[in-house]
Structure 1
């Protein structure tokens, strides 16, 4: 049936039928990707986050669908569709998603290990966290490349204690020392994958000669790329139906 998308009533009918189609494909045909689409539908159209959360979870558990693991983990982290956040559940499902090959899951699992979350039941492990970010970056997740680059720029302290009246004269020890060559490598990959902050950092590295030979022409080139990306973001590109839901 052809729909007239200029007609409000026909658009409503199309959306309703789409929900019916997704429910059939998920519950009767047991197709994992359709179950994930059903959860997206429940989230974006019905705004029923509790049901969406359940469908994401069961699609991950029953069908080992990586994107559903990632979505349920995000729900658990934010407390979406539930009364409160559950960091342990979030970590567990990001772990599942990462094992199933989802780079976004590896990225968020890594961040949970790098960030202090002891009060949420997650022990800080920056070394493992960085290995997960690297896995995510190599699977072409641009944000993971950007975060890794930043960590190699600053280095990772062994003990990140807040000042409590100390003189500040204590020697800082690093679990991972600053490594500008690695920082450059990950910034380059992040920029190639479309991360504008990586491109901006790359420009500065070429300008200063940090981790790479100084090159004013390449510094200008990557500054221009970063600014063009910024203009695209500020231009407010619109999303088509279903784009960005997963």
Structure 2
């Protein structure tokens, strides 16, 4: 998926929590009235309302898409202690939408957003520490922030945490923990986590080797648009069909 659609999709995740936080006029699903209400609330230093307005300017539709305006409102929202707004600022700087791409500044806003319990900010921060972008590479920090975000029910963070335990990066290698967090991530509809589970069952890492379960998890990961899962799904399905076909031939010869 190209960067811009992924970026806009990520902001869609903010809307449900921001809409609820901004008040009853927003909850009525009247987006024009919601915007008017949010403008007044943002002027009264309601950070959630500012974050909502920023999201509207990123998504476009109700208002013309305008990243400069989005930046303005997210900055206000973050200043007034809204974790969604801080996470959104981090995302703007990570992707270079409306600003010059800067992972160091992104990390600063992700840290603030994570402290304010924004799961996406914690997940993104864990990813930056895992890759060493904008911060010094630190697997222990990647584990710390991924754990916090996974506890906040972010599937991507749970999937990343499973991988860290599988690799033994930042924590002692522990296949059982890798499976545990990957299961949680997959249940939270993260394709990478489902694909990881498929690999564990395919290789017998932390679980009994089981090609049918592997195929099931690969298929689920593929449905959730994980490329690795799609590749292995086709391969393992063919392997199972070949195995069952060989077994039938063997039975006929007996």
Report the TM-score, using the length of structure 1 for normalisation.
0.69
**Partner of 2:8 in structure 1?**
none
Distance apart, 1:189 and its partner CA? 0.9
1:79 maps onto 2:69 in alignment: no
Distance apart, 1:192 and its partner CA? 1.1
**Whole-Å Cα distance in 1 between the matches of residues 46 and 199 of structure 2?**
48
Distance apart, 1:151 and its partner CA? 2.5
Q: What is the RMSD computed on CA atoms of the aligned residues? A: 2.7
Instruction: State which of 50, 72, 75 in structure 1 corresponds to 2:68.
Output: 50
The answer (yes or no) to whether the contact 1:50–1:80 under 8 Å persists in 2 is no
**Whole-Å Cα distance in 1 between the matches of residues 216 and 138 of structure 2?**
37
Match runs of 1:1-246 below 5 Å = 19-27=35-43, 29-45=44-60, 46-62=64-80, 64-82=81-99, 84-117=100-133, 120=134, 122-156=135-169, 176-230=171-225
**Whole-Å Cα distance in 2 between the matches of residues 180 and 15 of structure 1?**
47
How many residues of Structure 1 are paired with residues of Structure 2 in the alignment? 195
Q: Which runs of 5+ in 2 are unaligned?
A: 1-29, 231-254
**Whole-Å Cα distance in 2 between the matches of residues 59 and 92 of structure 1?**
15
**Whole-Å Cα distance in 1 between the matches of residues 171 and 121 of structure 2?**
23
Distance apart, 1:141 and its partner CA? 0.7
CA offsets 1:139-184 (integer angstroms, 9 cap, x no match): 111111112222333333xxxxxxxxxxxxxxxxxx5453322211
**Whole-Å Cα distance in 2 between the matches of residues 230 and 109 of structure 1?**
23
Q: Which runs of 5+ in 1 are unaligned?
A: 1-13, 157-174, 235-246
CA offsets 1:39-70 (integer angstroms, 9 cap, x no match): 122222222211211210111112x1110010
Change (3 A) 1:224 1:75: closer
**Partner of 1:242 in structure 2?**
none
